Every structure is written in C-alpha cells, then in structure tokens.
C-alpha cells in the first residue's frame, strides 16, 4: 500500500526479500502458504550497512563528495548544514 504507482512486480519484491534473508537481515516464519517476515538486526545496524554501501558504491568512500552531492541537489538546507557543523565542532572540541 505504501509503494508508489506503479507498484513493483511480485517477483521483484520476492527477489529483494530473498536477498535480504540470505544476507541475514531478515527472517521469516511460514504459516501454510503465507510468510511473516521480521528483522534479524536492529534498524541502526542496517542503516549503517546501507550507508557504508552507498558511500562506497556511489561516492568512492568520500564523505565530502556525498555531502557535496546532497547540497547541490538541494537535499540539505542550511539548518541541516548547521546541525552537521555543530556535530563536527563538538567532536573537534572533545578532549582526547
């Protein structure tokens, strides 16, 4: 119900689910012909994995290139940049 029109084909969804299961991200329980899927790892662990893969596959492991892309594509506004700068300054000012 939450997928944009046109919805992906059943086989496409099934393939993605199988890949996620083989990689150990999700599991399933069978109820006759129906399956109920559930996560095997926390959301934050998957987010970390997906982000690292995105950074590697599309930005050659360059965080600078990734942020530059988001800024140029207007996916980040000045408040986002300010928040990132605050995080950076907090790390820089942290005693080692």
First to last CA, the chain: 49
Strands 26-31 and 34-39: antiparallel
**Mean pLDDT for all residues in the chain:** 89
Whether 80 is covered by a domain: the verdict is yes
Each residue's pLDDT tens digit, 10-21? 788 889 999 999
Domain identity same for 17 and 52:
no
Kindly indicate the confidence band of residue 78, based on its pLDDT and cuts at 50, 70 and 90: confident
pLDDT at residue 1, as a whole number: 55
- Containing structural domain, residue 60: 43-92
Angle (CA) 8 75 57, round 5°: 60
Domain identity same for 49 and 68:
yes
Domain identity same for 29 and 55:
no
Domain identity same for 49 and 85:
yes
Kindly indicate the confidence band of residue 56, based on its pLDDT and cuts at 50, 70 and 90: very high
Counted domains in the chain: 2
Half-sphere exposure of 40 (CA within 13 A, CB side): 12
Give me the residues paired with residue 26 across strands: 39
Q: Are 40 and 24 in contact (CB under 8 A)?
A: yes
Whether 4 is covered by a domain: the verdict is no
No. of H helices and E strands in the chain? Answer: 4, 2
Domain identity same for 88 and 58:
yes
The residues near 40 (Cβ < 8 Å, ≥ 6 apart) are 24, 25, 26, 27
Whether 5 is covered by a domain: the verdict is no
């Amino acid at each position: 119900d939450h997928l944009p029109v046109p919805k992906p084909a059943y086989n496409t969804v099934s393939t993605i689910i199988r890949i996620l299961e083989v990689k150990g991200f999700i599991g399933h329980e069978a109820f006759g012909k129906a399956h109920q899927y559930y996560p095997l790892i926390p959301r934050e662990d998957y987010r970390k994995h997906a982000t690292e893969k995105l950074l590697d596959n599309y930005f050659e492991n360059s965080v600078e290139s990734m942020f530059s892309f988001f800024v140029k594509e207007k996916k980040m506004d000045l408040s986002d940049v300010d928040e990132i700068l605050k995080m950076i300054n907090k790390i820089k000012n942290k005693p080692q």
